[in-house]
């Protein structure tokens, strides 16, 4: 009983997902839906099991470009945010440009990257980076700016330098906001990678979907979508686990265990 209580959130997620798959399966059999319209979950599962290496290598490519794009987005995004917070010039120029660019549907820019960078993994990484970076920059700027003035005054009164205030006060204070940006960013990076594969290329799950669609191989399309869904979910929860690891003090993580 205790185990169930402790994991009730996780168990309810599993129950909802398993229930939905079961209903889908039953409906496909009962209504005799044709496979190329909507394959049953069991059929999709068989598709993956039949050619595991094929899916694995394509998923690996997509995962690699997603992670590379995301990592670059985090590094460049945080550096840009620090610059924007500390320099009026960068705020007026870079931040303004970023916000303006953010209003352009970034998917529409994807073909340009193929022109500039070819059909290898580089344009996919670049597109993932471009789509993921906005939420990271904007949330990091927000977080760095939200630092408590009393806390900054306390540090200044203790003769802290601007750099020390940034590292020891502003950054830890901004982490919660930065993770909010990264949780959005990791999902966006995956979207960027797939968009890149849609536009051009011979590998990746996006390419698998396009290729199978051309052959009306619906089970294979669904298999790729299923893997993408699983990948996105796992990546999201990895970022969330990192958040819990780095922010054990944060109110949103603390629950009711501490405090008076």
Residues forming the site for another protein (CB under 8 A): 148, 150-151, 153-161, 164, 168-169, 172, 247, 249-250, 254, 258-260
Min separation Cβ 151 and another protein, Å: 5
The tokens describing 228, both together, are 């993408």
Q: For another protein, give the closer residue by CB, 34 or 244.
A: 244
Phi, psi of 200 (to 5 degrees): -160, 155
Q: For another protein, give the closer residue by CB, 151 or 241.
A: 151
Q: For another protein, give the closer residue by CB, 103 or 149.
A: 149
Q: For another protein, give the closer residue by CB, 197 or 243.
A: 243
Min separation Cβ 73 and another protein, Å: 25
Query: CA 7, 12, 13, 14: dihedral to nearest 10 degrees?
Result: 90
Min separation Cβ 260 and another protein, Å: 5
- Cβ neighbours around 101 below 10 Å, total: 13
Min separation Cβ 256 and another protein, Å: 12
**Local structure of residue 32 (DSSP, 8 states):** T
Contact predicate 219/48, CB 8 Å: no
The tokens describing 161, both together, are 């330098």
CA-closest candidate to residue 143, choices 177, 98, 99: 177
Q: For another protein, give the closer residue by CB, 5 or 159.
A: 159
Min separation Cβ 254 and another protein, Å: 7
């Amino acid at each position: 009983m205790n185990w169930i209580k402790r994991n009730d959130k996780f168990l309810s997620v599993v129950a909802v997902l398993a229930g939905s798959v079961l209903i889908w399966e039953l409906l496909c059999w009962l209504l005799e839906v044709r496979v190329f319209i909507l394959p049953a979950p069991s059929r999709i599962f068989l598709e993956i099991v039949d050619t595991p290496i094929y899916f694995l290598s394509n998923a690996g490519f997509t995962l690699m470009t997603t992670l590379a794009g995301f990592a670059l987005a985090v590094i460049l995004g945080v550096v840009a945010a620090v610059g924007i917070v500390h320099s009026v010039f960068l705020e007026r120029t870079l931040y303004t440009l970023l916000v303006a660019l953010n209003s352009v549907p970034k998917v529409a820019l994807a073909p340009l990257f193929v022109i500039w960078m070819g059909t290898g993994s580089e344009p996919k990484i670049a597109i993932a980076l471009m789509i993921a970076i906005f939420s990271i920059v904007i949330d990091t700027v927000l977080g760095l700016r939200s630092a408590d003035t009393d806390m900054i005054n306390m540090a200044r009164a203790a003769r802290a330098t601007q750099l020390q205030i940034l590292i020891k006060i502003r950054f830890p204070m901004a982490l919660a906001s930065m993770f909010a940006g990264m949780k959005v960013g990791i999902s966006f990076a995956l979207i960027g990678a797939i968009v890149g594969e849609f536009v051009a290329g011979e590998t990746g799950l996006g390419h698998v979907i396009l290729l199978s669609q051309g052959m009306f191989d619906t089970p294979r399309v669904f298999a790729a979508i299923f893997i993408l869904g699983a990948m996105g979910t796992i990546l999201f929860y990895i970022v969330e686990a990192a958040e819990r690891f780095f922010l054990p003090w944060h109110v949103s993580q603390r629950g009711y265990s501490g405090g008076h």
